[in-house]
Amino acid sequence: MTTETNSLPMTVTLEQLAQAFEAWENGYRAEPSKFLTAEECATAEVSTLSADRAAYFHELLSRAT
Each of the 65 residues of the chain gets a pLDDT tens digit; together they read 445 566 778 787 878 888 887 887 777 777 878 878 888 888 877 677 677 777 888 888 888 76
Tell me the one-letter amino acid at 16: Q
Please give the Cα distance from 43 to 3 (Å, whole number): 19
Domains in the chain: boundaries: 14-45+55-64
Please give the Cα distance from 15 to 32 (Å, whole number): 25
Q: Return the pLDDT at 43.
A: 82
